[in-house]
Structure 1
Amino acid sequence: METGIALLSEQGWSGLTARALAERAGANPGLIHYHFGGLPGLHAEIYRRAVELLVSPLIEELLGAGDERAALATIRGLLPYTTGDEPSSRLAVELISGAVRDPALGVVLRDELRQARMQVADRLSLLHPGWSPAQAIGTATLIVAAIDGLILHHLVDGELAVDEAMAVVERLLPEEEA
């Protein structure tokens, strides 16, 4: 998986072949086909693992925040690191393009994003016991989509006004109780 992710970030989907992976990993290409059922299965597993590597740490940090203000501070602090190095940025772009181009990969990304939204909704339900499930899910959808959008915009424009955007969101939060 590590070798496949490295190939994907270096050469894109066109460079991620069973032969290239086997050559770099020092494995038999037939074993790769046997274990993954061919190139589509290999791509799906590498895709799943790459999404976990990029999305899971961010969601875990977000869920660990004590409240909404702490979550905003977490997002503000993590955003530069989500797009800070070339391999990660390239990998993120390849994951998005793969999901758009290949319906099977799109299903993997859809499922991972659904899981992330549900985790955020569950956390919001704990923070706000009076919220309906629909309100928690709707808010979680907006939060995850906003994070995705910020990451995408930051990939394109490293000088994105993240602090200004976070300040606007902070002003939308209810005042802290004394």
Structure 2
Amino acid sequence: MGAGIALLTEHGWPAVTTRGVAERAGTNPGLIHYHFGGLPGLHAAIARAAGELVIGPLVTELLGAVDARAALGRIRDMLGETTGDERATRLAVEVIAGAARDPALGEVLREQLRQARGQIGEALGRMHPEWPAERRAGVAVLVTAAVDGLMLHYLLDPGLPVGQAVSAAEGLLS
């Protein structure tokens, strides 16, 4: 997985071939075919692992917040750290690009995002038990999309005022 993720980050999906991953990992291409059932299985496994690397830390941070203001503070911190990590941002973009091109990779990412939104919705339920399930689900979608969008916008425009965007969201809570 490490070899595949490294190739994906450095050169995109076209570099993630059975032979390329085997060479990077120092193993036999036949073992990769045997273990993953061919290139589509390898791609799905790499997409799953890459998605966990990108989505997992963000969700973990959000789930640790005690309220909306703390969550926004964590988002500000995460985006500052994540956007500064060009490797993580490139990996996120490659996972999304692959998901847009390949239906199997798209299903992997969709499932990971569904799980993330579900976990965020559950956390919102603990913070706001008075909110109906539909509102929690809607806010979970909004939060997930906002974080993804800010990451992608930052990749295109490193001067993006992420802190100002989060401060504006804090203002909306007032």
TM-score range, shorter chain: over 0.9
Partner in structure 1 of residue 166 of structure 2: 166
Alignment map for 1:106-117 (pairs within 5 Å): 106-117=106-117
Corresponding letter in the other structure for 1:96: I
> 2:165, 2:24 → 1: CA distance?
43
Aligned to 2:27: 27
Larger Rg: 1 or 2? 1
| Residue pairs, 1:1-178, within 5 angstroms | 1-174=1-174
* CA drift at 1:104: 0.5
Tell me the CA shift for residue 87 of structure 1: 2.2
Distance in 2 between residues matched to 1:131 and 1:163, nearest whole Å: 28
AA at the equivalent of 2:75: I
- State the AA in 1 paired with 2:21: L
Residue identity opposite 1:127 in structure 2: M
Deviation sequence 1:141-166 (CA, Å, 0-9, x none): 11111111111111111111222211
Q: What secondary structure does 1:83 align onto?
A: helix
Structure 1 alignment gaps of length 5 or more: none
Distance in 1, Cα, partners of 2:78 & 2:40: 32
Which deviates the most, 147-156 or 87-96? Answer: 87-96
Greater alpha carbon shift after TM alignment, 90-99 vs 60-69: 90-99
**1:62 Cα deviation from its structure 2 partner:** 0.9
Which ranges of 4 or more aligned residues in structure 1 deviate by more than 6 Å? none
Rounded Cα–Cα distance in structure 1 between residues aligned with 2:87 and 2:76: 21
Superposed CA deviations along residues 55-109 of structure 1, whole A, max 9, x for unmatched, are 1001101110111101101111110221223322221221111011101000011
TM-score scaled by length of structure 1 = 0.94
Over the residues paired in the alignment, what is the CA RMSD in angstroms?
A: 1.0
Which amino acid is the alignment partner of residue 39 of structure 1?
L
Contact kept, 8 Å, 2:80 with 2:162, in 1: the verdict is no
Q: What is the CA-CA distance between 1:24 and the residue it aligns to?
A: 1.6
- Whole-Å separation in 2 of the counterparts to 1:116 and 1:61: 12
Q: Which runs of 5+ in 2 are unaligned?
A: none
